[in-house]
Structure 1
């Protein structure tokens, strides 16, 4: 089966098999391939309310490559979920038509609540024993950030999506290179208001473990851990303290884009928005009282794949 997650900043593909039933309830998916391209579908959406034609075209090019891979691997079932940018855009029909023509299936523009639940499903399966429930799972995307509280046994207790993604916050506030202190303060205040609202909906302050998802988190964790070449196996389930997250965030916000590009683990398409993503993580840790974050390389993409398998 193939799962595609098309967000505000990136489009990702997972082709996987379900684990053998004898492997037990916490067994992971059997990966065949994982791919990611930065396409910035949400370019300018916060300002214009529309998907830019060049952003749709970048997404089409990446999706055509994924479609070819899916056909080559003999995939039986495909589910594509589109998230924040395509929820917000007035011309979402143009995007939908492109996807149907390129992939042969319609994209599902999932709600923020469904996005949060898929992220939770993908993240909590296989968490290590020292990651105690209940979990606050936070998925920092390009246009939005999802907050979900629950545990493995009873599932999701509450979920909410807030419009504080790394692309949206960068476009709204962080214009300097590097951003000025006043810009950072404005972004921090905006993020804090949204996080506090989220924590009124989900009981995140009661969670025993914060689990962080997506590229902003995994990049911050890779930098914090001193990893010089991006290695998912070293990042997956690594635990980083609040103090170290704050240090890395301050360093990233003080750098120019050129300096961030020189960081060995930095994806070129993330260099201009990583400061905002790191700030979302730091502020959320402050407001929720989390003293550390556990990174997960498994997220909404895995949740989409599990949702395909659960309907077989």
Structure 2
């Protein structure tokens, strides 16, 4: 059985993809789940995982372990990638051992470069950009990945910046709505990171957004009563519409944001910060809109697993 399971654990969410090889060489998705666990709660300030955050993450991992077992995926064909929060936490050994006890695999704390590569491959696995170069942006909870490459999937440059929706919220935007001075301070912090990123934003031909901030904003932009992955995937948020979304969010309370149709309640308090990052990137681009992809690092990780593992396990 050529079946794999990929788990992506970031600062805000933990996500699962169970898939097998499709007839066209791509992925045949069998199950995909997302849980908001906020593993990065307080990590920026304390440097450690909070016990409550670990408990939430382990509970989600228990549920994923049952799904993976039911799908018949052996531990040799599971890959658990952990990103920004896990790179920063001093007590990450407790996280590693807790996941290993539940899944039989140790989390792989991937570098920003590896995260960027997997995100780029995943994003391009199901969308076709219209112009090159392509910029894929993954706005996570603790970091933001910017990857530039070709439509064929070759990465030319990539950078991981220490700006993310949770990190920015905890530092600058914890009040809802935030004061204008706090928004200006947060924007200046994001601008400083983008200005030194080395990315030639003006040359970008297609801008693709992956992961929670982009897909959440697409659902709100489309006015979906309930989140619909099929409608979100491949949708485009024009730059004026993106600015309008930010204006709407930055003036709202968490309760008002949570009440928006298709808004995941676990993202309501951090989506404004994620949108600010997107807006500051948009200011530097000459494209007409933001192409949103539901395929991302999970898909890239699953594809990599299928390429490197044989029918019963790794070579």
* TM-score > 0.5 by shorter chain: yes
Once the two structures are superposed, what CA deviation does each residue of 1:250-290 show, in whole Å capped at 9, x if it has no partner?
10110000101110111010000000011111111112344
Number of residues of Structure 1 aligned to a counterpart in Structure 2: 304
2:15 paired with 1:18: no
Indicate if the aligned counterparts of 2:246 and 2:279 stay in contact, CA closer than 8 A: yes
* Partner residue in 2 for 1:192: 191
2:123 paired with 1:123: yes
* Partner residue in 1 for 2:135: 136
TM-score, normalised via structure 1 length: 0.95
* Partner residue in 1 for 2:102: 102
Which consecutive unaligned segments of at least 5 residues does structure 2 have?
310-315
Task: Map 1:1-312 to 2 at 5 A.
Answer: 1-20=4-23, 23=24, 28-76=26-74, 77-128=77-128, 131-153=130-152, 155-198=154-197, 200=198, 202-312=199-309
Once the two structures are superposed, what CA deviation does each residue of 1:76-126 show, in whole Å capped at 9, x if it has no partner?
410000000000111111111111111110110000111011100100123
SS across alignment from 1:41: coil
- 1:28 and 1:205, CA in 2 relative to 1: closer, same or farther beyond 3 A? farther
Cα distance, 1:154 vs. partner?
Answer: 5.6
Which whole-Å CA distance do the structure 2 matches of 1:173 and 1:212 have between them?
23
Cα distance, 1:215 vs. partner?
Answer: 1.0
Indicate if the aligned counterparts of 1:41 and 1:55 stay in contact, CA closer than 8 A: yes
Indicate if the aligned counterparts of 1:175 and 1:183 stay in contact, CA closer than 8 A: no
- 1:183 and 1:237, CA in 2 relative to 1: closer, same or farther beyond 3 A? same
Cα RMSD after superposing both structures: 1.2
Cα distance, 1:240 vs. partner?
Answer: 1.4
Indicate if the aligned counterparts of 2:121 and 2:153 stay in contact, CA closer than 8 A: no
Which consecutive unaligned segments of at least 5 residues does structure 1 have?
none
Once the two structures are superposed, what CA deviation does each residue of 1:167-218 show, in whole Å capped at 9, x if it has no partner?
00000000212111111111111111111222x1x33332200000111111
Indicate if the aligned counterparts of 1:148 and 1:158 stay in contact, CA closer than 8 A: yes
SS across alignment from 1:81: strand
Indicate if the aligned counterparts of 1:216 and 1:278 stay in contact, CA closer than 8 A: yes
Indicate if the aligned counterparts of 1:125 and 1:152 stay in contact, CA closer than 8 A: no
